[in-house]
Structure 1
Amino acid sequence: MPRRPVAVFAIAPWAFGGIFPSDLVTRLRQLVDIDPATTFTSFEGPAAAAALAEAEILLTGWGCPRVDARVLAAAPRLRAIVHAAGTVKAGVDPVVFERGLVVSSAAEANAVPVADYTIAMLVLGAKRVFSRARRYAAAVEGEPKDWLSGDGTGLNGRTVGLIGASRVGRHVLRRLRAFDVEILLYDPYVSAAEAARLGAEPVSMDDLCRRSDLVTVHAPALPETRHMLDARRLDLLPDGAIVINTARGSLIDTEALTRSCATGRISAILDVTDPEPLPPGHPLFAMPNVLITPHLAGAQGRELRLLGEFAVAEVSRLLGGVPLLGRVEPEQLAYIA
């Protein structure tokens, strides 16, 4: 029987069972020699040192320590890192690529539930579900509950503006084809021809803000994207516009958004904020036209399995000499989320 490569888990115990349920572990153990009873959240100590000395593949996830030069020095046989979560930006030092290791991320799999969340919020937001539900619940005896008041609501015929054709953004674009909407796209790295193939009209950021009934943000957090939705651009939004952010909180100026939403002129649905979490008692929490969820758009609960399935498939592709679907190139570190 051919020798199987040695692999090591480095993932938080709270996430392990959801990402790697028993059937996926069984499938993985057919490919590599790995101990599912041992997963590291620190590379300190003799047990970690012994595991790293033999490891050829590191299966990482939430809770994995940063893989840097010191870790690589302790892992002379390591040739690949397969990350069973989203971004590797915080967990992989550039020296990993300099040493020639292959890096893969399950960001594509994690993008699916984020896109699903986004579509759900576009539909519910366009129907004003959250503000109308609050008003319905707060109605007192003798006052109209107005639960049938839906003038001007609904997604049909609306203009949806996407900021960023990222993995999530592209999933959202594909899903939006099922709706009767006009789609605008701002992404400086996407050509007009590619935008057309994605079913969107390429526009400037300011034009997108002026024309969109709903704006959904899917850009990475970079110095140049910080506060890309600032007070000036928020003022460009038409009355009644809705801003949805599932990307990074720093892309929106929180103080400016708070002021804009406080007037009731625009609404917001935020799965991420800046800071995150917002401090207790922040005004956005109490606004009827604002919904804030605790960074839950990505894989949660039963969706975690998607990450494990992707990671196991990547290990199989790696060992079979097949190109990896989630391969991360060193130049991508500068602009991935």
Structure 2
Amino acid sequence: MTERHTTAPAATELPRLTPGPRPRRPHTVLAMSLETRDALREEGAIDLLSETADLDPDLLVTDFADPSAAEALTRAEVLLTHWGCPPLTERALAAMPRLRAVVHAAGSVKHHVTDAVWARGITVSSAAAANALPVAEYTVATILLAGKRILESARAYREQRAAYPLLPYFAGHGNYRRVVGIVGASRTGRRVIELLRPFDFTVLVHDPYLDDAGAALLGARSVGLDELTRRSHVVSIHAPQLPETHHMFDARRLGLLPDGATLINTARGSLVDTEALITHLTSGRIHAVLDVTDPEVLPAESPLYRLPNVLLTPHIAGSLGSELGRMADYAAAEISRYARGLPFAHSVGPQDLARTA
């Protein structure tokens, strides 16, 4: 269930370019959506990438069969990808005979890296470690807000516009000595645990690839998934989307959540049975923070839009705005390493995809 873990830098640290003589600038082509390229340009990330790569920021490939991109793709040594990159099929790769590396300035590569990439011996890097940081920050913020019952208290204050008895209202809530369950010791899950250390929480973690000693090093206790669900006041999901994790929170497991518990999902919507979750939420027994859903986007008539015990956000936990610059920093550092003949610091291989998001 866990992602292949490489120790991510602390939130205040950025990858550093290797000191020494200025390396060559490999010919690099941008492959992503127009919206993504423009967002990167707005944050100054394209300028940073241009310092380490020989790229034309105005040349954007959204279709590898586009004749106007043929000459640039023929010369491409590095493909800099991001959200909206088309699939790198065998046919697409045939147009890039010199391609040696794919540097993904975002998280998962599953959407565009195919078996043909590995068959060609092309190396792949991902900025998933950078994207994990804002997801973890969002998660910790919502954990703390869930303990304060922000949705209910804000709604009650708005409706009553008068003082109401705080102590009876908040009985059984708060953030002192609460149990937080982390499902998946992924990059994000580990960062969440790290960020929770200053608080007075008991942290449980479930991950089939994490033993008791590994959990203890993180500052958590390893338990089975059902036990974690039964004991936790807040359960936060950080597992990858795999066949074995589909609907891991089904009607039975959702029923194990204590009354008043909060389920947080910033991973993938398919990990939770949406209809079963709606049933539990409609009863008012539990609460939910949902940054991802199944389907995504939900139909307009979905009760999740209007239920008072649901915080529903449109997949904003990951990198947005200035946070795109962090992922670009990672990508620039990887291109610099490639240019110097060094291995990627954040490489991805075919063996990793069976355990990553």
Question: So what's the TM-score if we normalise by structure 2?
Answer: 0.89
In structure 2, stretches of 5+ residues that fail to align are 1-21
Q: CA deviation at 1:68?
A: 1.2
2:224 partner letter? S
Asked if 1 retains the 8 angstrom alpha-carbon contact of 2:304 and 2:310, the reply is: yes
Could you say which residue in structure 1 is the equivalent of 2:356? 336
- From 82, 100, 103, the counterpart of 2:121: 100
With over 3 angstroms needed to count, the CA separation of the structure-2 counterparts of 1:287 and 1:25, relative to structure 1, is closer
Partner secondary structure for residue 64 of structure 1? coil
Aligned counterpart for 2:247 among listed residues 205, 227, 232: 227
Provide closer, same or farther for how the CA distance between residues 260 and 35 of structure 1 changes in structure 2, counting only shifts above 3 A.
Answer: same
User: Does the CA contact (< 8 Å) of 1:19 and 1:307 recur in 2?
Assistant: no
Rate the CA distance shift 1:107–1:20 in 2: closer, same or farther, 3 A: farther
Which amino acid is the alignment partner of residue 138 of structure 1?
A: E
Aligned match of 2:135: 114
Match of 1:214 in 2: 234
2:188 is equivalent to residue 168 of structure 1: yes
Counterpart pick for 2:58 among 37, 49, 57: 37
CA-to-aligned-CA distance 1:298-331 (integer Å, 9 cap, x gap): 0111211111111111111222233322210111
CA–CA separation in structure 1 for the residues paired with 2:227 and 2:324: 37
Which stretch has the larger CA shift, 283-292 or 1-10? Answer: 1-10
Please say if 1:79 is aligned against 2:100: yes
**Higher relative contact order (Cα pairs below 8 Å, separated by 6+ residues):** 2
* Counterparts of 1:26 and 1:272, CA distance in 2: 32
Q: Following the alignment from structure 1 to structure 2, what is the Cα–Cα distance between the partners of residues 4 and 303?
A: 25
Residue 166 of structure 1 and its aligned partner are, at CA, apart by 0.8
- The residue aligned with 1:189 is 209
Q: Distance in 2 between matches of 1:87 and 1:132?
A: 37
Question: CA offsets, 1:1-22, max 9 Å, x none?
Answer: 9863211011222222433557
Contact 1:183 1:200 in 2 (8 A): yes
CA–CA distance in 1 between the matches of 2:23 and 2:132?
Answer: 36
Is the counterpart of residue 14 in structure 1 residue 30 in structure 2? no
Name the CA shift for 1:253/1:101 in 2 (closer, same or farther; >3 Å).
Answer: same
Aligned mate of 1:62, from 69, 83, 91: 83
1:111 shift after superposition: 0.7
> CA contact under 8 A between 2:43 and 2:325: conserved in structure 1?
no
- Cα gap change, 1:144/1:24 in structure 2, threshold over 3 Å: closer, same or farther? closer
Question: Aligned in 2, Cα 1:160/1:7: closer, same or farther, shift over 3 Å?
Answer: same
Q: Please tell me whether the aligned partners of residues 160 and 214 of structure 1 are also in contact (alpha carbons under 8 angstroms).
A: yes
Instruction: Give 1:267-306 correspondences, 5 Å limit.
Output: 267-306=287-326
Residue 220 of structure 2 corresponds to residue 204 of structure 1: no
Q: 1:7 to 1:185 in 2, by over 3 A?
A: same
Paired residues, number: 335
Q: Secondary structure at the match of 1:334?
A: coil
What residue is the counterpart of 1:263 in the other structure?
Answer: 283
Question: In the alignment, is the contact (CA less than 8 A) between 2:43 and 2:324 conserved in 1?
Answer: no
Structure 1 window deviating more from structure 2 (7-16 vs 163-172): it is 7-16
CA distance in 2, matches of 1:322, 1:131: 53
- How far residue 136 of structure 1 moved from its aligned partner, in angstroms, is 2.0
Within a 5 Å distance, the mapping from 1:122-137 to structure 2 comes to 122-137=143-158
- State the one-letter code of the partner of 1:97: W
CA RMSD of aligned residues (A): 1.8
Cα distance, 1:117 vs. partner? 0.3
The separation in 1 between residues aligned to 2:49 and 2:297, in whole angstroms, is 36
8 Å CA contact 2:40–2:324 kept in 1: the answer is yes
- Contact residue 20 and residue 305 of structure 1 kept, 8 A: no
Distance in 2, matches of 1:213 and 1:22, equals: 38
Q: Is the 8 A contact 1:78 1:101 kept in 2?
A: yes
CA contact (8 A) 2:74 2:95 kept: yes
Identify which range, 87-96 or 277-286, moves more after superposition: 277-286
Aligned runs of 1:234-249 on 2, under 5 Å?
234-249=254-269
**Structure 1 residues 193 and 271: CA distance shift in structure 2, 3 A:** same
> How big is each residue's C-alpha offset from its partner over 1:130-170, in whole Å with a ceiling of 9 and x where there is no partner?
12212222237xx7645674333222210000000111111
Shift of 1:97: 1.1
Task: Give the secondary structure class of the aligned counterpart of 1:53.
Answer: helix
Distance 1:91 1:279 in 2: 27
Matched letter for residue 300 of structure 1 = L
Distance 1:53 1:244 in 2: 45
